[in-house]
Amino acid sequence: MSTFNALGLSPNLLKGIEDLNFITPTPIQQKVIPTLFTTTSDVIGLARTGTGKTAAFGLPLLDQTDISSRVVQTLILSPTRELCVQIAKDLQSYSRHMGGIQVTSIYGGSSMDKQIQALKRGPQILVATPGRMLDLIRRKAAKVHSIKNLVLDEADEMLNMGFREELDEILETTPAGKRTLLFSATMSSEVARISKNYLKTPEKITIGKQNSGAENIRHLYYQVHNRDRYDALKRIADIHPQIYGLIFCRTRAEAREVSQKLMADGYSADALHGELSQAQRDHVMNRFRSGALQMLVATDVAARGLDVSDISHVINYTLPDDPEIYTHRSGRTGRAEKSGTCISLITDRETRKIQQIQQTTGSKCEKMPVPTGEEVCTRQIYNMIHRMENTPVDEEKISPFMETVSKKLEWMTKEDIIKHFVSTEFNRFLKYYENAPDLNKHSGKAETTNRGKREKGTQRKRQTRKTNGNEREFTRFFLNVGKKDGLIAKKVIGLVNDHTKIRNIAIGEIDLKDSFSFFEVDAQFGNTIQQSLHGKPFNGREMIIQAAEVREKQKKGKKKHKQFTSTDNRK
């Protein structure tokens, strides 16, 4: 078995590694570290997220740093503030016994003046996000003319985030004789372009199959009706009481909606999306990292560069279009050789995406039935009993109260005590899942029960019709503005686009009246539409939007108006 002692690292660096309880190097570390010591060639390292790439390039670069020099010798570029800060912290931890090593992190969303002052103190290693780094280079505050090593960490993520021009300019600004190290989870066409244009005959090190997922991650999917997606998510969370999960959504509106529903239903959850300020983002991330949150709902953009250990589950609330993005999502779990689970919620129209993911990643995706209410209750009660069994008892502190407790319970049998204990903790779940419907796609239309009602208090009239050849489920809304207010069909579409900031919401029938209107939208965006439009101004009037079924009940006996069908999607 290989150890860090065999990789040629200096004693002081090995001491820092030992402090962190690093014993056995990961496969990427075993290959990259000796390469950086024995050659001066450029390197491409392909390995999934969480395999130890930071130590792979960080340890040898620290050992090769000239401590007596106060110029930037190594520049490390990473896609996000979180990853940038994490890399800098890791390098500082590794080098704690070396003395004289200074590592500085540079990123957007923080005071540029303070970062300029930090640069004046002469760090040898700079960790930066591309946008802020380029700003400082242009201001001549960051001097990169002396760098010997340039590291592009999570290169595919940086390019996916739109940093192509920034990377090109930074790479052209830095010395031609530098060594460039490119690390990525996938080898996309853009990563290949960067490699071809800026790396000189690089040595390629690949751990595992290129663009593949990790073998220690189990891939599952649940096939459900679109209207049951959120209820299925709750069942998955309930069947895994100890979940520490990351839930991915397509849009920030969807992420916000899902997180708000989870919090309203009593789950320990919050959202991470582009509308948050940096302070809000930091607050959410600190709560998630500390374990105060069990579930974090995020968009792909918001989660890029996220470095959190021990995530047990990644859940694709909606699948991405690109299998490479699926690989990145799933790579958030099963890190550091631990096992993890990646779960996807899909409709019958998305089975082809699952096939594409399997072909691209080489990972087998297992179809699973959505847990029944009885299965969830069984798992929850076992978990509750397990927690009770393993709760430590402080005899000294509890003994003064035992006589009172014993007297209070002396009228009850052991069986009665157990029943009352279980009921105290468990009645909520029993009631919640009483007569719970089958959510699996094969079961047809889900029955309505006390727990099966959707969106309590705002139940909406829904219709299914074909749009662009695909069957969609639509929600019908009442709007308190009409033709007299200058509303036309195009403006309905404009209101949806402008206020939701989502350009691909399918619009169904639009029925314009003189003083009010009805319109249909894709049911999965129902909450988003209502929250985005309600109370907003239109030609001097405050818009009121209500579920059409609720409104029609208030207008009993009045004649229904004929509707017309909109054009496809009205994007």
Does the residue 438 lie in any domain? no
Residue 288 shares a structural domain with residue 346: yes
Residue 517 shares a structural domain with residue 422: no
Does the residue 445 lie in any domain? no
Average pLDDT on 163-188 reads 89
Average pLDDT on 355-377 reads 87
Average pLDDT on 127-134 reads 93
* E runs forming strands in 312-394: 313-316, 340-346, 365-367
Picking from 206, 228, 257, the residue at the C-terminal end of a domain is: 206
Residue 87 shares a structural domain with residue 191: yes
Residue 107 shares a structural domain with residue 167: yes
Please say if the pLDDT value at position 314 is more than 90: yes
Picking from 206, 233, 251, the residue at the C-terminal end of a domain is: 206
Residue 331 shares a structural domain with residue 421: no
Comparing 146 with 388, the larger pLDDT belongs to 146
Q: Would you place residue 192 in the very low, low, confident or very high pLDDT band (cuts 50, 70, 90)?
A: confident
Q: What is the predicted pLDDT for the residue at 35?
A: 94
Is 482:513 a contact under the CB 8 Å cutoff?
yes
Q: What is the predicted pLDDT for the residue at 566?
A: 38
Q: What is the predicted pLDDT for the residue at 88?
A: 94
HSE-up of residue 520 (Cα within 13 Å, Cβ side): 24
Q: What are 105's strand-pairing partners? A: 127
Q: What is the predicted pLDDT for the residue at 505?
A: 83
Does the residue 300 lie in any domain? yes
Does the residue 453 lie in any domain? no
Comparing 458 with 178, the larger pLDDT belongs to 178
Comparing 366 with 555, the larger pLDDT belongs to 366
**What does DSSP assign to residue 440?**
B
Does the residue 440 lie in any domain? no
**What does DSSP assign to residue 228?**
G
Picking from 338, 372, 406, the residue at the C-terminal end of a domain is: 372
Q: What are 271's strand-pairing partners? A: 297
Q: What is the predicted pLDDT for the residue at 556?
A: 41
The rounded distance, in Å, linking the Cα atoms of 184 and 211 is 9
Residue 130 shares a structural domain with residue 195: yes
Tell me the pTM: 0.58
Q: Would you place residue 465 in the very low, low, confident or very high pLDDT band (cuts 50, 70, 90)?
A: low
Number of domains forming the structure of the chain: 4
Comparing 415 with 502, the larger pLDDT belongs to 415
Residue 285 shares a structural domain with residue 345: yes
Average pLDDT on 481-499 reads 87
Residue 36 shares a structural domain with residue 106: yes
Q: Would you place residue 349 in the very low, low, confident or very high pLDDT band (cuts 50, 70, 90)?
A: confident
Q: What CATH code is carried by the domain that includes residue 542?
A: 3.30.70.330
Residue 229 shares a structural domain with residue 347: yes
Average pLDDT on 418-440 reads 78
Is residue 285 classed exposed, middle or buried when 0-12, 13-18 and 19+ CB atoms within 10 A define those classes? buried
Render pLDDT for 54-78 as a digit per residue (tens, 0 to 9).
999 999 999 999 999 999 999 999 9
Comparing 275 with 91, the larger pLDDT belongs to 91
Comparing 570 with 278, the larger pLDDT belongs to 278
Q: What CATH code is carried by the domain that includes residue 133?
A: 3.40.50.300
Residue 139 shares a structural domain with residue 166: yes
Alpha helices (runs of H) in 225-350, residue ranges in sequence order: 229-239, 252-264, 278-289, 300-303, 323-330
Q: What is the predicted pLDDT for the residue at 551?
A: 38
Please say if the pLDDT value at position 123 is more than 90: yes
Is 54:84 a contact under the CB 8 Å cutoff?
no
Does the residue 230 lie in any domain? yes
Q: Would you place residue 513 in the very low, low, confident or very high pLDDT band (cuts 50, 70, 90)?
A: confident
Does the residue 37 lie in any domain? yes
Average pLDDT over all residues of the chain: 83
Does the residue 162 lie in any domain? yes
HSE-up of residue 28 (Cα within 13 Å, Cβ side): 28
Average pLDDT on 475-498 reads 86
Residue 28 shares a structural domain with residue 173: yes
Instruction: From 306, 305, 293, 296, select the one nearest 248 (Cα to Cα).
Output: 296
Q: What is the predicted pLDDT for the residue at 468?
A: 47
Average pLDDT on 375-400 reads 85
Lowest mean pLDDT among 321-335, 378-392, 431-445: 431-445
Domain limits for position 180: 4-206
Q: What is the predicted pLDDT for the residue at 553?
A: 37
Share of the chain above pLDDT 70, in %: 87
Render pLDDT for 84-112 as a digit per residue (tens, 0 to 9).
988 999 999 999 999 889 999 999 878 89
Determine phi and psi for 104, rounding to 5 degrees. Answer: -125, 140
Please say if the pLDDT value at position 212 is more than 80: no
Is 182:150 a contact under the CB 8 Å cutoff?
no
The rounded distance, in Å, linking the Cα atoms of 65 and 286 is 32
Say how many C-beta atoms besides its own lie within 10 A of residue 246's C-beta. Answer: 23
Q: What is the predicted pLDDT for the residue at 373?
A: 85
Residue 421 shares a structural domain with residue 522: no
Average pLDDT on 425-436 reads 75
Which of the listed ranges 149-153, 411-415, 417-421 does the model predict with the highest average pLDDT? 149-153
Render pLDDT for 7-36 as a digit per residue (tens, 0 to 9).
989 999 999 999 988 888 988 999 999 999
Average pLDDT on 125-142 reads 93
DSSP 128-144: E-HHHHHHHHHTT-S--
Q: What is the predicted pLDDT for the residue at 141?
A: 92
Please say if the pLDDT value at position 417 is more than 80: yes
